Chain A
Amino acid sequence: GQQLNQSPQSMFIQEGEDVSMNCTSSSIFNTWLWYKQDPGEGPVLLIALYKAGELTSNGRLTAQFGITRKDSFLNISASIPSDVGIYFCAGSYSGTYKYIFGTGTRLKVLA
């Protein structure tokens, strides 16, 4: 079946640093969503992307829909302690209603 691979799996960063993570697939996707999940809670939608090449920002977060439609990137600028959590990408492809989730990137911020 379809799989989304996220990297890195986890990362420690210093407060104030910028963060980059990505999500890749062997298949083409039509929509990419990025979520953040805190322990014991549901995923919270951060950014939605609909077109190849699209670059969308939400505060300190910026995400891009890769030109090949097989990948997406999320950047967090000037990280703060509350950015700690697991970030998931999710993609949907033509002919399906479902979203497939990536393996997640666990972010830990050192104050």
Chain B
Amino acid sequence: EPEVTQTPSHQVTQMGQEVILRCVPISNHLYFYWYRQILGQKVEFLVSFYNNEISEKSEIFDDQFSVERPDGSNFTLKIRSTKLEDSAMYFCASRDRYEQYFGPGTRLTVT
């Protein structure tokens, strides 16, 4: 069964460093998402991507964040200068018509 994959599973970085989180969505899906989940809290929407551009973003998704779909299969989230409060699980998701499927997540730890 097709699934969303994410790498790495765990990323540790120092405050101020740039990180890139990678995702391979389900191949025939057209809508792609990044969500964040701080430990013990609910899943928060960051950004949606459709037709090679951002379709919607939350107030969390400020200028430090960017997304790309560089080669038609990968979908990346870049955080330019990480802060301590960026520590969280980051989930990629993709959607066909209505059903949205999540990847296993990347745990980002900023020290």
Contacts from A to B (Cβ < 8 Å) = 31, 33, 35, 40-45, 48, 50, 88, 90, 92, 96-104
Contact = CB atoms under 8 A, between A and B. Distances in A.
Given A96-B56, A97-B48, A102-B42, A45 B101 contact: yes
A99 B100 contact: yes
A20 to B, nearest CB: 20
A42 B102 contact: yes
Given A98-B45, A100-B45, A50 B98 contact: yes
B71 interface: no
Contacts of A40: 105, 107
B43 A88 contact: yes
Interface residues on B, range: 20 to 34
Nearest to B6: A42
A33 B100 CA distance: 8
B49 to A, nearest CB: 9
5 contacts: A33-B99, A33-B100, A45-B100, A98-B33, A101-B43
B67 to A, nearest CB: 13
A104 B101 contact: no
Contacts of B58: 98
B52 interface: no
Nearest 8 Cβ contacts at the A-B interface: A42-B102, A101-B43, A97-B48, A98-B45, A42-B104, A43-B102, A97-B55, A42-B105
B100 A101 contact: no
Contacts of A100: 45
A92 B48 CA distance: 13
A33 B43 CA distance: 13
